[in-house]
Amino acid sequence: MSKEVVVLAVHGMGDTPRSFADELEEKLANRLGETDWSQVHFDSIYYQEVLQANQERVMRSMRAEPVDGIRLRKFLLYGFSDAAGLERRASSPNSPYERVQKIIRGTLKRAYQSVGGTKPVVIVAQSLGCQVVSNYLWDAQKPRRASQGVWKAPTTQRGTPLDSFLRLKSLSFLYTTGCNIPIFLAGFPEDQIKAVKTSTAGYDFRWNNYYDEDDVLGWPLRPLSSSYRQAVYGDYPVNANGTLLGTLTHGWNALSHTRYWIDADVLKPLASDIRGLLS
């Protein structure tokens, strides 16, 4: 059976294994059923490798000294160095910013070839991955060449079906979970806080944002500015725990940051939207 929808998962900050999206894939497959799932091209965008070697080196160096709280220290070191490293000198050739966007573009090109052309796209982005996707879209939506990232030097002719697909013009749904975009924008005046276009310039997708009130790294987005109120269809508070056991062990603190993709309040509408694209 042919693939009719592309679903892409994007990980967040921290020490992330390549298998980060396996559980999400399994749960979506179970919810959609064999027939519908067979029509879905599922892939993950894994960009942790861009910074991981340096982070591992620093972590080894730090552990040579007597320090406590290793697990928390590792989470913070990887997480915040991800955020800082990916934004640093973004316009420089072969910067981490550009290398991450090459990974996104490469994943989209594989999807395009796999499904045989332009098909609806659904992106599920977690934590820092929300900022990564937003940056890619922001640069792709520039009316002329962007000043940074892969759209500074496009490899496809503008307006071709492949170019439009790589610029995510067939994006139908953007799901963001545990999104920390406000951390990157809080220093700007409100009138300078602009969201990516969701219903103009050849784009027409629904942006659903999920956050847990106990997750200090996950934020609502619509309060950021009038631009975000227009771009984001809804901010949805959830208790990101997934199960009763999760509620007892994760639902009351910041560990909920890692639990969105197993929570029914996220999975149910996500599966429904994917099924709707198949009908």
Count the neighbouring beta carbons within 10 Å of the beta carbon of residue 245: 10
Helix (H, G, I), strand (E, B) or coil at 179: coil
The CATH number of whichever domain residue 261 belongs to comes to 3.40.50.1820
Domain count, the chain: 1
Count the neighbouring beta carbons within 10 Å of the beta carbon of residue 169: 18
Write out the two tokens for 32. 């959609």
CB contact set of 90 (below 8 Å; sequence gap of 6+): 97, 98, 148, 149
pTM exceeding 0.75: yes
| Confidence band, pLDDT 50/70/90 cuts, at residue 243 | very low
Higher local confidence (pLDDT), 8 or 217: 8
- pLDDT of 62 above 70: no
Enumerate the H helices of the chain as residue ranges. 22-37, 49-63, 70-87, 96-115, 128-140, 161-166, 181-185, 226-231, 244-249, 264-278
What are the two backbone dihedrals, phi and then psi, of residue 85, each rounded to the nearest 5 degrees? -65, -40
Cross-strand bridge partners of residue 9: 44, 124
pLDDT tens-digit readout, 84-143: 556 666 678 888 899 999 999 999 999 999 999 999 999 999 998 999 999 999 999 999
* Amino acid residing at 258: T
pLDDT tens-digit readout, 68-99: 555 655 556 555 544 555 666 667 888 889 99
Beta strands in 111-255 (DSSP E): 121-126, 171-177, 206-211, 234-237
- Residue 150 belongs to what domain range? 5-278
CA atoms of 69 and 78, how far apart (whole Å) = 14
Residue range 162-183: average pLDDT? 96
